[in-house]
Structure 1
Amino acid sequence: MRVADKVAIVTGGGAGIGAALAAALAAAGAKVVVSDLDEPAALAVADTINAEHPGATVGVGADAADTAQISGLIELAQRRFGPVDLYFANAGVVGAPGLDVADDDWDRALDVNLRAHIRAARLLVPQWIERGGGYFISTASAAGLLTQIGSATYSVSKHAAVGFAEWLSVTYGDQGVRVSCLCPMGVNTKLLYEGQDSGTELGATATRAVVSAGEVLEPADVADIVLTAVAAEEFLILPHPQVLDMYRHKGADYDRWLRGIRRYQSSLRENH
């Protein structure tokens, strides 16, 4: 899909990958609703983009996991720019490391990293089928294909996000609904360093695992890769190509792969 003249919503757009996606979309000629739980951040991103591309964006504070607020984003986009063509379900949370995580933390991770996608799709997919097309882009993680050392909530919810994106493509792909799933490793965002800042050894190990696994990319580079993949309507978007080899190794011999990940985790702890 060509994004020029299309209308997009980007959640988690106040910083990081979301802000970079909004900027790249506007530069490519799209109209963008920039949404973030942090409203001042969303407004600041929109103002920065509009300074270069006047009238291309509008910023708004919203909870990407709340159905009523997602509906409000869709209505805002329709009112300002027209029907929504692309939805970037990009908002995400990491979650505390370890097994002793409260149910409320599990609920938050599942709400933001998974149910937010489901709730948006419920609202948009029927519209897209009626209109003959639309595009849902899910930001998951390499952790959704592999695993996450440290945070069970992140690993499990991102696996679920990949699974939902797959299901969405299988179920509605023949009715004009395009789906992509973004699965990066390390990207230079605040989210990357939350484990390091958690004050726990397991959290710090989680951050070291991601940083040492491959190049830490800049959000703008990831956004460019995403738009190239959207133009080609590719499902799996891997800014770090080595993730595909890791995924193949996992599938080829699951037990061997698990032993290797345990050794890798141990080495990270021993070296720090």
Structure 2
Amino acid sequence: MNLTDRVAVITGGAGGIGAALARRFAAEGATALVLADLDGAAAEAVAAAVGPLARGVAVDVTDEEQVRALVADTERRHGRIDVFCANAGVSTGGGVEVDDTGWERSWRVNVLAHVYAARAVLPAMLARGSGYLLHTCSAAGVLTAVGDAAYTTTKHAAVGFAEWLSVTYRDQGIRVSALCPQGVDTPMLADGLAAGHLGARIIAASGAVLSPDDVAAAAVAGMAEERFLILPHPEVADYARRRAEDPDGWQSGLRKLVRRLRATA
């Protein structure tokens, strides 16, 4: 997809990857950008920095009625939505001990928000015979987020849902991409490091932490080629192959890494 003159909605648009996508889409010639975030004031600040084509709004993506209202308002203002980026995400940094509230929040933000977006935007996209869904799913969705059970589980579900959408609707003009970065310099990573989360420590120790702008550039390149799986960290493809070919060996390697990091904690 060429982003020139496109109308795009980006959730989680107040910072990190979402804000970087907004900046990059604007540079690519988008005609209108709607940045939705639970923190509406922060989304408005990012929109102001991007320029007059952008608008920030407060939206809770776990509330389907708010997502529907976001879509309806954008379509009313701009006539259509060409690209919907379901980008909002949360992590827990914990395992099975995380309480039901944490698991439920992960499920609603990382998975159901994607479902709500698809329900809202697909009817008009299908009627036009064109549209693009970009889902930020994380490399955790094709590998494992060591130290975060809920994140791993929900991101695998997010990739599965995106794949289902692609298989089901591509022949009707709908393009779907699962954006799966690994380590990214975002508040989520910083908060995880501050809390001592194992997964964040592994990412930081890898030395392969990208900037959000790097991820946005990879996303735009992948969308231009209409690739389903967009991997800003190309090594993730190799990891995924090794995991598929030798799951026991892959898990053994991860356990060794965990033991080493725990020993140095």
Category of TM-score, reference length = shorter chain? over 0.9
Distance 1:48 1:69 in 2: 25
Structure 1 CA distance for aligned equivalents of residues 64 and 77 of structure 2: 20
CA RMSD of aligned residues (A): 1.1
Q: Map of 1:124-143 to 2, 5 A cutoff?
A: 124-143=121-140
Identity of aligned residues (%): 47
State whether residues 134 and 176 of structure 1, in contact with CA within 8 Å, keep that contact through their aligned partners in structure 2: yes
Deviation of the 1:186 alpha carbon: 0.7
Aligned length: 264
TM-score, normalised via structure 1 length: 0.94
Which runs of no fewer than 5 residues in structure 1 stay unpaired? none
In structure 2, the partner of 1:207 is: 200
Query: Which of 180, 183, 193 is residue 183 of structure 1 equivalent to?
Result: 180
How far is the alpha carbon of 1:95 from its aligned partner? Answer: 1.5
Q: Would the aligned equivalents of 2:16 and 2:212 in 1 still touch at CA under 8 Å?
A: yes
Once residues 157 and 125 of structure 1 are traced to their aligned partners in structure 2, the CA distance between those partners, rounded to angstroms, is 22
Report the residue type matching 2:38 in the other structure: L
2:166 maps to what in 1?
Answer: 169
Structure 2 match to 1:251: 244
Is 1:113 equivalent to 2:115 in the alignment? no
Structure 1 runs (4+) greater than 6 angstroms displaced: none
The structural deviation recorded for 1:214 is: 4.2
Aligned to 2:22: 22
Quick one: distance in 2 between partners of 1:127 and 1:6?
15
1:77 Cα deviation from its structure 2 partner = 1.5
Equivalent in the alignment of 1:68: 65
Could you state the TM-score of these two structures normalised by the residue count of structure 2?
A: 0.97
- What are the within-5 Å matches in structure 2 for residues 48-87 of structure 1? 48-50=49-51, 55-87=52-84
3-state SS, counterpart of residue 158 of structure 1? helix
Please tell me whether the aligned partners of residues 132 and 175 of structure 1 are also in contact (alpha carbons under 8 angstroms).
yes
AA at the equivalent of 1:37 = L
User: Residue type of the partner of 1:217?
Assistant: L
Take 1:138 and 1:214, find their aligned partners in 2: how far apart are those partners?
25
Please list the CA deviations of residues 139-185 of structure 1 after superposition, one character each: whole Å capped at 9, or x if unmatched. 01111111011111111000100110111101111111100001101
Structure 2 stretches lacking a partner, 5+ long: none
CA distance in 2, matches of 1:79, 1:120: 16
CA distance in 2, matches of 1:111, 1:184: 20
